[in-house]
Structures are given as C-alpha cells and as structure tokens.
Chains A and B, each alone.
Chain A
Amino acid sequence: MKHSRGEIGRIRGRVPNQKYLNEIKELLGDLPRDRDLLVEHLHKVQDRYHCISSYHIQALANEMNLPTAEIYEVATFYHHFDVTKEKEPSPAELTIRVCESLTCEMFGAKKLLKDLDALTGDDIRVQAVPCVGRCHAAPVSIVGTNPVEHATTALIEEAINNNQTDIEVASYIDYAEYCEQDGYSTLLSCINGLHQQDDVIAALEDSNLRGLGGAGFPVGRKWRILRDQAKPKLIAINIDEGEPGTFKDRHYLEQDPHRFIEGALIAHWAINADDIYIYLRDEYAGCRKILEKEIKALQKNPPCALPAIHLRRGAGAYICGEESAMIESIEGKRGMPRLRPPYVAEVGLFGRPTLEHNMESLHWVRDIIEKGAEWFTSHGRRERKGLRSFSVSGRIRNPGVHLAPAGITINELIDEFCGGMLEGHEFYGYFPGGASSGMLPASLGNEPLDFDTLQPHGSFIGSAAIIVLSTQDSAKELALNAMRFFEHESCGQCTPCRVGTTKAVKLMSKKDWDLPLLEELANVMEEASICGLGQAAPNPLRNAIKYFPEEFK
C-alpha cells in the first residue's frame, strides 16, 4: 500500500477501496495468496466480473502484497483478461470469439466476422482471435465457452438464443472406465517393482519417442537427464496447444484424459520428481472441466500415493506454449521466454530442475511400456520410426486427427487417411507443422513427414499440424495471415520479434512486397530472436516467396 503526494496533501496513486478489498477477500477465500497463483486469481476476478478493474487490481495488490504495477503488467499481457480503468465501462457480458487463423480464414472467417458485426451490442461483443484448436471444423466460433463448429451467423444466433454459452462435454473414458481397462496398472507395476527406473527409461530411449510439442527432443534422454538432477525437481506438462492447425492434444484429452496422467505419474516415479504442474490453454474450457473432474476423482481414490498435481490455466497467449514462457506463466508472471542457458532441465519452474513435456509425449508412455519399444518402432515408412498424430485440416474430405506412421508423405496422408482432396480442389501446397513451419509446395508432396526431414526445405514437422492448401488458396495471403498471428502473439520482449513482426506485417500488407528488405528482416528474426516464435516467424514469408514465385509476379 504505497502512498503518494497530492496538491492538497491527499494520497495520490490509489487507496484500496474497502468494497473491492472485501470482494477480493471473498473471491479468493482460503486460497493461498502466493505469487505464483496470480494468473489463477486474475481468472477468478475475470470470471466473476467479466473484467479486471483497476479497483480490483489495487485490492488484489493489497491482498497479495504485490506492487500494482506487477499485477497490471501480468493482467494486460494475457488476451483473455479485460483490464479496465476507472470510469471505463466493463465489456459486454458475452464474448463471441471467431478464429481467424489459417484454416478458418481459408473457410471464410473474414466474412463471418463481418456478418457478426450486426450482433455486437451492449451485451455481446465479437472478437477475432487466433487459433482455437478446432481447425477440422473451420470456420469456428466460440460463444462464451461453447464452440460452434462450421460456424455460420445462424448457428451462432441459435446458440445465443438458446443460452448455449457454456461448453458441453461429450462422453470420454473417465476414471472408473480407465481403471476397468487396466488403467494405472502400468504405474502400479512400476511402483511395485515389476519395472525398474532404468528399464523404463531405456524402453523410452529404444522407442525413439520424441517430444511431440514440436521440438522433438528424445523423451527417454530427457528423463535420464532429469533423473540425475538433484531434488527438488518438478514436472510441468504443456497443454498450451496454440500452433495454428494443431488440435491433437485436445483430441486425446477429450477421449482418454487419464492416459497422459498415468504417463506423468510414471515419469514422476522414474525421475523421483516432486510436484506435477499441468498448464492448460484457456481456450480448452471443455478439457478443463474434464481435467478438474478427473484429477479430483483420481485424488479421491488414488491407485497409489500421489504427488501434488496442480492444474493451471493459461489466459490466451500462444507464447506460453514455449516451455520457458509457460514456466513464467505458471509462476504467475508475464509469459516471456527465458534466455538459455540455463536450460529448463537444470533451472526450470521456481528455479528447480524441471521435466517439461508436451501432453501427447506422455500419452504414449503407457503403451510403450506395456507393448514394448518395438511396438512403437515397428510403425513407420521410409526408415522413419514410430507413430505421428497428424492434425489435418484444410481442403481435404476427412479432416481431423489421424494417427499415421512417421515418414508418410503428404500425398499418402491425403489419399490414405483424409479421403482425398475436397471436391473441386486441386492440391497446391501444405503447412506440415502449423503456421510456424511455413508452407511447402505440392511439388514437395513426396517428402517423408517426420522430425529432421523437412529442414533442408526451410520447414519442419513441429506439432504435425497439416494444413492442406488448394489452388484456390494464396500462399502470399496465408503468409500475411501467419505473420499477423506472430505479431499478435509476440511477447514483446526482444527487438527482432517485437518490432520485426510488426514491420513485416506492414511490408506484407502492401500489394508489392519489398523482397530484399523482407529477407533482411527475416534474417534478423531468425538469427537474433530469443525464442522459437521469432526465429520461426519468417518461415511462411520466406517459403511463400521461395516456393510460390508465381504469386509475386
């Protein structure tokens, strides 16, 4: 509670108002006031009051013994928080979000947004937002937390009129059913000494399972590194699936949520970890419902002694999918990536050695232990090994998550798994790993899709988010879409990304692109940005120029 000067000797700055202090006290109840819960507490305020007013920030500062500036900078970082100043009206109670990322734009998001203008009013607002992870059903809109797939104005109006603003969870394998299917028995056999830590780690190494968030670091090797770190050490699970085109994590979570939890508990056993943190993107309200319920069920009737499992909620920031930004966010801070070294495995969450994994990487742990490493490596084409969960969207007949062998080509994937191209569409090119992988032309349709295979072409498989383009799409326009996305999602920390993405959008919004200058810009972003966001941001721009030269004539 700082005080300050004023012309008539009154406190300048703000004095906490008792009314708001009481509201915050009531809202937080018995919850700890620890700094790392700041984002969680801000969610409580946003959920209750549909905004975070400066009165509430002041009261929260008081309650959490934090400077107001630190709360304000965190609250304004996350797009799902509506921070309002004194005298500013609070936003409309209902928010309709319309995805404007790659696939949705291809399927008419712009028009939908325009049409929805008519709905905007005192009680309803419409926001264009980045990828919400339902690209197979583009265009997508989220009414409140209720996703409307293949959205039209009519469907959205219907949802509003029927008061369908809260997501309904479809059926999935719950705790009881999972246990019936021998769930958690692999964990128990680990704990009961049927498996040795070394053997399990060796099995993962043999399986060649790699980090499925996009970076592809070998899972077994990561466990081995972490096992050798001193306690206390933590596990942080990344479900901030935000790469445009990606929806595989949501897919698995909505069907079989316990599988990755069992994987996490096995990892916990294998590396002698302490607490487990799960970071879930805020866009996945349904998954949150499932996880809240299932973690509770697990804790209520645990198969064995459980570590503390903390479920943390993102707040609308793609950058928090970057492992160190996620850690910052879990600590209640702005999601700004850390400089490395030191690496997360050594100095991670709360400064402790941290095993950080994408959710899907843990999803496969049970199968690999039960069925053996060979089962996993038996899959694959063109000498590539293992299975890949491809999130496929775009101009194909059967979009969705397709589990396919690593090393498959896009041509095979479209034909064998996606039912071919959509009627009237001719294959033109594809994003193999979401927006940041950049797009490749149809002429590279026979390249094996796997880690390390696409780098020579200026791309990568990343999270295996395939967006199939047809000749009706424009690589140039989609490159601009992607660059706008990176501009929107840049954390603002380093110059090449913060300024670079903005300048690039300006240059790319012009009819004629200044190609040499854009290449210079691309170079500094790739070479000098702090994290992968800035480093990969020029990929769509460069690949559009490189592989689709006819669009620039």
Chain B
Amino acid sequence: MSGNADFVPESTTTFTLNGEKMHAVAGESILEVAKRNGVEIPHLCYKENYRADGNCRACVVEIDGERTLAPSCCRYPEENMVVQSSSERAIRSQKMVLELLLSDMPEQSRSPYKPDSELDFWVDKLKIGTPRFESRQQQGEDNSHPAMTVNLDACIQCTRCVRACREEQVNDVIGYAFRGEHSKIVFDMDDPMGESTCVACGECVQACPTGALMPANNAALLKPDTKVDSVCPYCGVGCLLTFNVRENKIRYVEGRDGPANQSRLCVKGRFGFDYVHHSDRLTTPLIRRDKTSKTPGLIEQADISKYFREASWEEALDFAASGLSDIKETTGSKSLAGFGSAKGSNEEAYLFQKLVRTGFGSNNVDHCTRLCHASSVAALLETIGSGAVSNQIADGTDADVMIVIGARPNSNHPVAATFMKNATERGSKLIVIEPYGSDLTLHASHFLQIHPATDVLLLNSIMHTIINEGLENKEFIKSHTDGYDLLKESVQEYSPEKVATICGIQVDIIKEVARLYATSDKAIIFWGMGISQHTHGTDNARCLISLALLTGQIGRPGTGLHPLRGQNNVQGASDVGLIPMMYPDYQPVNDHSAQKRFEALWKTSLDSKPGLTVVEIMHAIHSGDLHGMYIMGENPAMSDPNLNHARKALSKLKHLVVQDIFFTETCSYADVILPASAFAEKNGTFTNTDRRVQLARQATEPPGDARQDLWIICEIAKRIGLDWDYESAEEVFEEIRLATPSMAGITWSRLNKEDSLTYPLRNEGDLGQPIIFENGIFPTDDGKGRFVPADYIKPDELPSTEYPIVFITGRQLEHWHTGTMTRHSTVLDALEPNPSVFINPIDLQKLNLGSGNNSIKIESRRGTVTAIPRPDAHIQEGVVMMSFAFREAAANLITNEALDPFGKIPEFKYCAVKLSPAKHS
C-alpha cells in the first residue's frame, strides 16, 4: 500500500500505533498501515502482494492486553487497539530475531550475494552488532542450474521462495522440508536445482530477501549504472520488466509491476536477455560476393565471409534499394514483396507496410501473423467485426469457467498460465482441450485430450448439447445475433454420441463441459494455434465464436474470446497494417473509402488489390511472378511450412534484402544483409495480446555498426524515391495515431508516464476499453454478431500405412519462434541445447525406438529430420510434437503447406510422418 496517508476511505478501523491515531482499511495489516504512514517496522518474511506468513517474527509489536507480542504483518487492527512497534519490549524482540538470523549468515556478516539484502538493511537500521551466538553448520553452494545459484548459507527460512513458487507462479517445485533447525528449502526431493523440475521463472530469486537465491555467476553483485524500465521482448503476454545495465551490457532483469504480469516473469523474460550481446551479432552490412552462388542450402556461421563481403552502410543501402527499384522497373510493382516482423515495434511495422504500399506500390506485405492467428482473425472479423481479444487475461482469470483450447500457455504464455493456475486455486473451473497435456492440466477440472484436428466435431457437439438441453441464451441470441437458425440446423448433425469416438472424448464429459460453460455466470475461451494452424482453422474459430454468442458469454467482465497472441507485437503489427488485405486499423484495402483516406494521409495513390500472403509469396516466386523481397526481422527459411519448398523459393529470388540482428537461416539467401538493432537497443511501442500498448525503452547501444531499424527503413525508403523524414519512434507514433483511430487518443507522453494503455482509446484522456463488445454490441453493420456454422473437414494429409504418425509443431518453454534469439541466449540454450521430438513413452516402446537415448528419424513426404526422442506421458499415443526453433532439425522441413482457404494459414498442426531409429555414423 502506498499513496496518500491522509486519504481515509469510508470503511476504516481506527487504532493507535505508537501513540498516533491511525486508520486501517479492510484487509490492511498493522504492518501495512505502518508502512503507509512512514512508520518503520522491521520485516523479512513479508513481501508486498504475497500472502503474509508471519514466520520471521522481525515485525512483532506489542498489543495492549495481549500476553505475547504479535506479528504486525499478520494482525489486523481492531477498533481502539493500542499497538506499540517501538516500545522497549517490542524492539528487544525485533533486535534479537535479527541477531539470531544474522548469526547464521555467512561469516555472521553482510550477505555476500546480495548488495541490498533486506536482512542487512534492518541489521543496519536497528544497529545490530556482531552476533553473540555461534553460527550454524553451513551448507555448500548449489550451482547446478545455468541461470541461478542457490546459497542456502544465506537462507533465513522465510519461505518467500516457497510462496513464490507455490502460490504466485504455481510451479510447485520448491518446498520447505525437514523439521526444526534442519528445516530446509528444497527443490522437488532435495535435488540440485538444475536437476529438479524447476522451470526457471526466477520468481524465487526475485522474492529472496537475502541472496540465498540469486542469478548465476554473481551477475547481480555489481551495482548497475542504469535501470531501464521496459517490456519483455518475447511472447504476447507483455510483461513489464527492468533491464539492469552496466557498461552497456544488460546484467540481469527484474520483473516490474505491470498490468499483465504483476512483477512476474518467465525463464525467457528473466534469463533470456544476453542474445543482445552475443558475439554472433551482425555488426557490419554485408553484400553477397557472387550472385550465382545461391543454393537452397543453408550457409553456416563460419562460412559467412566465403559468401559475403563487408560493405559500408552507404554502399549496402544503395545496393539494397537499387536492386528493389530495378525489379520494380523491369517486372512491375507486383514482383516485389516485403515481410515485416511481429517482433518489431508498432512504429517499425507501420513504416514497413507504408514503404511496401507506397514505395513498392503493392499490398504484398505480410508477416508471421499469417502463420499464427490469421484464421482466428478472419473468423473474428467475419462474425463480430473485430480481430482483437474481447477481454484481457487479467479479467478472464476472474471467470468462473475458463476454457483453454489448442493452447499450452505454460510453455507459450507462461506468465498468463500462472494467473490461470491462481484462478483455479481460487475455485475457478479450468477446462483444457488439447491433444497434448501439460502441467497446466494438473490444475484443470476437466482435461479433454482430444484427437488432433477434431475440434469442429467436439465444439459442434458441445453446441448441440447446449441447444438440445435448452441452455442457450435465448435473449442474447434474439437481441444480439444473426443466423442462429442456420447454426441450430447445422449442429444437429453433431450429437455427442456421434462424435465421441472420433474425438476421443466420452459423451458424458462433452455434455458436462457444455453445461458448465453454458450455465456459469462468467466463462471465457482462450485459444492458441492448436485452433488456428489448420486448413480448417477459420472453422475452428467460428465454432468458438458461435459458442460464445450462443450462450451470451461475451461483452461482460470475465467472459469473451481471447486468442492468445504468440509474439510480443503480433497484435500491434496487424493493427498498424502489416497484412496484405488491410490498411492500419483493419481498413480493407479493397474498400474504396479506406483507400481514399490512406491515399490522402500518405499523399500517394494506392493499389486496391489485396496482396499476397506469406505462403502465396513463396508460390509466386516459384511460378516466376515475384523476384525481389525485403525481409525485416522475419525468418521464413525456418518459419514457413515445407521448408525445402520455401528455401528453394528464397534461393530463386533475384534480389533479397534481409535486415536482422543475427545471420538467420534466411540470410543464406540474401543479396544484402543490413545489421539491425535488438529489442533492448531501441525505443518503441508494442501491443500485447490484451490490446495493451506498452512502451519499450532503449537500454543499450547496438553493437558495432548495427543501426536502428527505423533508420534503416527510412534510408531504404529514401533510396526508392520516398520523401521520408522521420526523426524518432515518437514521430512515427504520431502518424500511427492519425492512421489508426482506435489508438488516436494514446499519446507518447502519457505512455511514457503510465507505461501501458489499453486501446480502443479514441480520445486523449480516455481510460481505454479493457472489455469490448460491451452490452453485446458488435462493430458490425447491424451491431450484431453473426453465427457462421462450420462443418467438419478432415486435415489435408491423413496418416497412412506408410506415414502412420501425426506430427504437430509446437513450442518449448525455453525457445521462441525460430530460435534466433533464444538459441543465442546462454541460459536458454544451456537449458534446451538440442532438438527433441516429444513422444508418448508407450509409442517409443511400441515402435521399437529404444529407451530415449538414441536419435530417431522423422520423415514426411516433404522432408526428414533427426532428433532425440523425449518420452512424455502428457502427449497422446500416435502423435509426436517438435518445436521449430532448431536449425539442425528444422521441424518445418516436415510440415505441410496446405492452406486454410480464409486465413491462408498453413496446417502446421497436422501432417503424417513415419519414425525410425536414426543410423549411427
């Protein structure tokens, strides 16, 4: 509690602390009131926002009429209570507690591990001298984990780490074992931290008051020169954090109390920052020595100089731009395309799409949203008129029922998953629908381990149950929707009895889930790419939307639809028009008035034909229609499906400009490579999955001659004939406000002050709209939501006798996207250094693939990779999963490029493979 000490809310308790009258609000402890009023009481086991435990007893106070002293962190003032925190009696015990704890610190002295140890702080404050007691028998250091060191010789048994692990992040790894003086903080069964099931979120490090848990290698011992408040560069959750910088290097990261993370981080956010300083960073522009040297193969880091020579920025930019201009002149606007990135800022994405649209002269601009939620967005726009989430995660976790379908947030959105787990501890029901279980399913009330790609069947049968049992929300359907009769008719085909076997879910479970969702007060649906990455991805999303409309579970707090965005700015990049069919703010390019508006804003004529999408661009190269590309921060040579096909396409380009921070796989096909800036090296806004626009601030300077991306885009623009003159991200943001009415009210200065603002925020000073579609009003022509029924279609490539196993791609906690950042991060790469294929142990046995020690070959009709099997009982039999982050076993060599007809998203989540033991050389 901080704030104005003079402010007294209505319902308060009045009591006396050290002779002063004080007011406590409901739920406020004596310690919290004291803090708010500037009265210092020593405390160690208490941590703001954590459950108070009252074990350290440093905060004991004297309460009139009580026999013993009371812990002020766990006592709540009562009317007229008389409390002394600084009486001789209270101080005597406070001091002795501190002396006892100090006597068991290393050398009975200041913490050698943490410069701002809270114990040291209070020891100084209360002037505790050299302890008069013998020290305990000390334990040795545990440095088994690459990210954290455990020094239990500095442990004061305050159990803040236990609460961090168990109650905050709910990872359940840390325990308080043994008894009495032998009491000990343990990981699992007193295992070395590095061998335990620790997921390295580092919450315990952040919680530890004395440095018993610290970042490895004493990284936090040196005082940082600057602390830069910024945002996490990884997933769509959008955690706020602080970079601790010393000598232009990020030394360690701390979670900041942001609206999406409440100071929590995951392993990537907390420990995955040092890729920024990796020696492999591109630091000089590179130009290909010989245009004829392009092959579909990859170029290794060590061979870069064989294929590329260093160039000055001037030469490289000229070369890059002239190559693009030449193609435009000879074969026309449509033979050029650009890939921007969901990892760049809104400002970068905005300028990049503007460059393609106004400079190249076509709408051939896309980015990896095509590979993530394109189908979800297609369905959302078609049915309810907005592609963004309706409710934020923080609000959604207040729901009575949460459905998580086609998502494994504990790997992909770890901090969001912690809030879901917290919700289940508070009593919310969690329904997980996934072919591949996870630790999250341990917290689920219902885990429906569905057969892959049968979602439409299951969802239709859930709706079938709701309608047949009369549980639909008739009033909502009548007032707020269109097309109900079509849906009703369509789902009649899908009784639970009919689909149960195909889905692998029992009839009564389907019915139970249907009833639970339909009849609860507040229910929300979270989904991920298990829904979207299918040839029927749009149908999957249509069903989820219909489910929400059918029951009226939308437009209110704790309800709605939340497609979990994968990358830190996939929401923002789409918002500002980095997609081929929409201008900023989802204005269709083929809408005449939108075209006119943007022609006026950008002072140029625009093409009204939607551009090509990611996979279509690869096809266009193959068919000889597309010859030049500008790729900023994307890595299609890893992220596209059927990589052999995609890489071949890239190698056929006449001119390829790649702008990135590392020599990515895509750089293998480049003609010119422009060294760019990493996340921590620039300012910009990023929009998280919740529609929160958040400000990232530059923490370090780019290495060598690497440059800011905005500068590079502008320099290319200038050289292809655009008259651009943007000085800063702030200036670009001002233009975004003009182009994007739903963000028009957000100002840079307010962002700088508040860090995070939620759009729609149309007018300056607005609060922003955390919940959209309020009162069931949708941004469609008639204000109603539309039911679009979907029939079941099978995946494009089914298992066969030759290829009997279903292959899906997914994520591992430690790696992100194509691995460009995470595999250059020391800790993350140490935790997961090698490609694995996740397989049910029974399959491993059944297929005679050994015990899990030997590599296996995974082969589809399109490609082959070799990986080490990881037996995991969470995954169902007959299905294997791989992350696509590993260059040496690129999972997308296997995947199928068949597209969803509406979202143009490929079917990453289903293809057929065969497995065999890999031959040993």
Contact = CB atoms under 8 A, between A and B. Distances in A.
Contacts of A5: 814, 831-832
Given A3-B197, A495-B57, A527 B175 contact: no
30 contacts: A4-B198, A9-B869, A10-B853, A13-B188, A67-B173, A69-B173, A69-B175, A69-B188, A70-B172, A72-B188, A72-B190, A73-B177, A77-B178, A488-B180, A490-B181, A491-B180, A493-B55, A495-B55, A495-B100, A495-B101, A495-B156, A496-B93, A496-B97, A496-B100, A498-B157, A502-B136, A520-B92, A521-B96, A527-B69, A528-B60
B426 interface: no
B187 interface: yes
B68 A526 contact: yes
A333 to B, nearest CB: 11
B874 interface: yes
B180 A528 contact: no
A108 to B, nearest CB: 26
Of B101, B183, B189, the most chain A CB neighbours within 10 A belong to B189
The 9 closest A-B pairs by CB, nearest first: A492-B183, A69-B175, A67-B172, A73-B175, A13-B197, A524-B96, A2-B197, A9-B868, A9-B836
A487 B181 contact: yes
A9 B74 contact: no
Contacts of A118: none
A526 B156 CA distance: 20
A111 interface: no
A38 to B, nearest CB: 13
A8 B100 CA distance: 45
Contacts of B726: none
A8 B181 contact: no
Contacts of B198: 4
Q: Taking each of A5, A8, A68, which has the highest tally of chain B beta carbons within 10 Å of its own beta carbon?
A: A5
Contact of A527 (B93, B136, B183): B93
Give the one of A76, A526, A529 with max B CB within 10 A. Answer: A76
Highest count of chain B CB atoms <10 Å: which of A8, A507, A526 = A8
A500 B100 contact: yes
A535 B70 CA distance: 13
B442 A65 contact: yes
B624 interface: no
A13 B439 CA distance: 14
Given A57-B189, A526-B68, 7 more contacts: A1-B442, A9-B870, A493-B55, A495-B156, A495-B157, A496-B57, A529-B57
Interface of B: 54-58, 60, 68-69, 71, 74, 89, 92-93, 96-97, 100-101, 103-104, 132-134, 136, 156-157, 166, 172-183, 186-191, 194-199, 439, 442, 814, 831-836, 841, 852-853, 867-874
A202 interface: no
**Majority DSSP secondary structure for residues of B touching A:** loop
A511 B611 CA distance: 91
Nearest to B834: A9
Tell which of A9, A490, A507 has the most Cβ of chain B within 10 Å: A9
Contacts, number: 196
B827 to A, nearest CB: 11
A485 to B, nearest CB: 11
Contacts of A54: 189
Given A72-B190, A499-B100, A530 B833 contact: no
A148 to B, nearest CB: 27
Given A3-B872, A12-B197, A69-B186, A339 B54 contact: yes
A523 interface: yes
B189 A523 contact: no
A528 B186 contact: no
Contacts of B814: 5
A271 B596 CA distance: 80
A507 B133 CA distance: 8
Contact of A69 (B55, B172, B867): B172
A501 B833 contact: no
Nearest to B159: A493
Nearest to B835: A9
Contacts of B836: 9
B472 to A, nearest CB: 34
Nearest to B133: A503
Nearest to B74: A339
B178 A523 contact: no
A147 to B, nearest CB: 24
B55 A494 contact: yes
A257 B466 CA distance: 56
B179 A491 contact: yes
A15 interface: yes
A324 B785 CA distance: 55
Interface of A: 1-5, 7-15, 54, 57-58, 65, 67-70, 72-73, 76-79, 85, 317, 334, 339, 487-496, 498-503, 506-507, 514, 517, 520-521, 523-524, 526-530, 535
Contacts of B189: 14, 54, 57-58, 68-69, 72, 85
Nearest to B132: A517
Contacts of B176: 73, 334, 492
B870 A506 contact: no
B868 A10 contact: yes
A513 to B, nearest CB: 13
Contact of A528 (B68, B74, B136): B68
B68 to A, nearest CB: 6
Given A3-B872, A524-B100, A528-B93, A492 B178 contact: yes
A503 B68 contact: no
A72 B186 contact: yes
B172 A7 contact: no
B56 A494 contact: yes
A8 B834 contact: yes
A491 B103 CA distance: 20
B57 A501 contact: no
Given A13-B195, A57-B189, A69-B189, A498 B183 contact: yes
B55 A530 contact: yes
Given A15-B871, A535-B68, A317 B179 contact: yes
A15 B178 CA distance: 24
B197 A4 contact: yes
Contacts of B56: 494-495
A77 B179 contact: yes
A78 B177 CA distance: 10
Contacts of B870: 3, 9-11
Contacts of B96: 496, 520-521, 523-524, 528
Nearest to A500: B100
A506 B182 CA distance: 15
Contacts of B92: 520, 523-524, 527
B918 to A, nearest CB: 13
Contacts of B174: 69
Contacts of B196: 4, 12-13
Nearest to B173: A69
A15 B874 CA distance: 12
Nearest to B872: A3
Contacts of B195: 12-13
A499 B69 contact: no
A80 to B, nearest CB: 12
B788 to A, nearest CB: 39
B407 to A, nearest CB: 18
B831 A492 contact: no
B74 A77 contact: no
A73 B133 contact: no
A103 B196 CA distance: 45
B854 to A, nearest CB: 10
B4 to A, nearest CB: 29
B874 A492 contact: no
Given A10-B870, A69-B186, A499-B100, A527 B60 contact: yes
B175 A70 contact: yes
A151 to B, nearest CB: 26
A210 B835 CA distance: 69
A445 to B, nearest CB: 28
A503 B156 CA distance: 15
